[in-house]
Structure 1
Amino acid sequence: MIRSVRYLISGVLAGAPLLVGMLLLGIAGAALTPVLVGLPLLALLALTGVPVGAVERWRLRLVDPAPVPTPHRTPDEAGPAAWARLRFTEQATWRELAYAVLLAVVLWPLDTVVLTVALGIPGAMIGTPVQLALTGGETRAVKLWLIDTYGQAFLCAAAGAVLILVLLRPLARYARARAALTRLLLAPRQAEGRLAEVTRSRARLVAAFDAERRRIERDLHDGAQQRLVALSMRLGLARLDAPPALAGRLAEAHAEADQVLVELRELINGIHPQVLADYGLGDAIADAADRSAVPVEVDVELPRFAEPVESAAYFAVREALANVGRHSGAERARVQGRYEEGRLRIEVRDDGGGGADPGAGSGLTGLADRLAVLDGTLAVDSPPGGPTVLTMEIPC
């Protein structure tokens, strides 16, 4: 019971200053917006719900022992800019702002009314004998009933004691309902929790896939490739001392070993090209364009990105250029890449016959899936007769 009273009283003590603070921020922000000074104040007002939500989840422990975890994610980067950018894009931030407005305008006045009815009025009735003694003649209990004798005063006090005992149970029920509303608005949504876990597991899968691919590349480079190099050298040395009848067969074996070595190097380069690891996505795209069956113009100005982003973008571009060479009938293609407003945007355009349909089970489906792992998107514009434009975007 005492915990319920403490919960409601602390709500009143938190809500009244919150109302004043939000009003001051809103008025000052609106007034100063024409000179741009008000914009940070309005942004601060929008984030008011974040600390309010944290305090309210802590206050819930007074009546609800089950902990309420925060619905917010941890920023991937350090610094206030990354924190603010993430908070403004989370649904939880806006739910907390709505709760802060509800607390400032409705909930704390309602808590005040409930406390006044359940405790204030009975408490004033219980204190009637003291009031009568202080006034020395007569008093009015709860500003309503005239009390001029100690008999009436003690009778009023007894009625107040009975009334407070009767109202304590409804007070506790109201406090529990109030806490349930707070939990409903401020606890993480189950769907959001599942989505966050899916996002984290998907990131772990991407990292594990990249690590496994690097391991296979390393094993092929340090194992099979070195053995083939040694075999090719031995065949070359054997040809020097072999009789003419055997030299021809050794030459064929030597050439075959060299061809296998070339193919293995191409395979290793396809698993994870060294130019991507050493020089970044821009140079890797230029290298892929040089290998394309169709002449490709490259216009790419990109910084370095995280390995999963560079890997996904590189293989998506390479797959797109392979599709151009196999299916489009194009004579030329163009790759343009930019990094703007936190998004990597790459456009692959060709002058082929068009008609590419991502829903027809083509390689575009796999390309879209590759980007979706990093929350990226693929847009296809390919009318019959062309041109075909693939636009890839990855937030990073």
Structure 2
Amino acid sequence: MHKILLISAALAGVSFAQFTQAVTPEQALARLFTQGPIKPEWFAPEVLKQVPLAQIQAVITGIAQQGGAFQKAVPAGQDFTLEFEKTLVTATLRLDAQGKITTLLFKAVKPRVKDLREAMKGYFTLPGKFSVVVMKNGQVLQQAGVTEPLAVGSTFKLAVLAALQEQIEAKKLGWDTVVTLEPQDISLPSGQLQDWYPGAHFTLETLAGLMVSQSDNTATDALIRILGREAIEKFLPAANQPLLTTRNLFALRDAANKSALELYLKGDVAAKREVLKQLDQIPAQKIQFSGTQGDLRAEWLLTPTEACTLMSKVQNLKITQINPGVVNPADWKQVSYKGGSEVGVLNLTTALLDQAGNTYCVSATWNHTQAIDDSNFIQLYMNVLGSLE
């Protein structure tokens, strides 16, 4: 799952004199989005020495594409709110005596939506299957889409974390317990640990942090081995038995294992466990993963409500708060996040705590038989989140 960069550009500020300027800050911001390609003469030389004009233009273009038509710049304390057709952008701008830009910082992008109901309507434009739920204090506020469980990719790792938390609370393990990376743990990316070596030592806290914040697949499979499949399966709906490791999933996506996939899809739980025993013997370096879409019946399947239930079990762990996903943590008292994706699959699940003590969970999933537009789905999700603030 890729992170959304909310800080789009940061250009170093330099001291400037307070004299009459050739343009006002509002005019300087407006022309960035209304007068065609940006011009070098709009910037102080010190700025362009640090950041190429093309890089600045790329940021401006990205903001404009996301926001639609520019409307106006409005002072907001020491900053400005840029009003676009679809978004509101917080910006910091400083000019020198000649009206040249010395500091330009885009701090946050928020969607412009009237209310939650309006924000939810956008999901119905998606091809394929989608499901989304918005919960407040444990109760459903809004939901839409199919009711069947959909493939959620790495969001299933919340169940691994819940099982780990359970064993730590039972004093069977500790966050500081040191474990050894075994050959059978090595998986394929995402993550970093697939490049490490068997025999390396990690605390369980480190493995869990990598699993959740970076969606490290090798860290995940190591934790599954340590905890045992059955200890994790009880946190998941029956459709996820037996539990796939991430390497199992990659093996089932390998065309060389087509017969194993057919046996897996046709078999009962016992038969599937036998298939996974065979797949467990295939090392990561032998798996050929082309990046094409596989059969989504061989995946981790959850409804958004089930994803929120899992998140509720672990949302107070700091591990779930390392990577806030698409949310600006400054807007909330607490943000916990996990997402998942593969070809044709995207899930985003976020738990939020506001300053008044209200808890929210927003989980949305999209499955499609073709490559999906991540940016469109993320914008729809941000629209929903924005309606809750």
TM-score for the superposition, normalised by structure 2: 0.24
- The structure with the largest helix share of the pair is 1
Which one has the largest radius of gyration? 1
State TM-score, norm by structure 1: 0.24
Of structures 1 and 2, the one scoring higher in RCO (CA 8 A, sep 6+) is 2
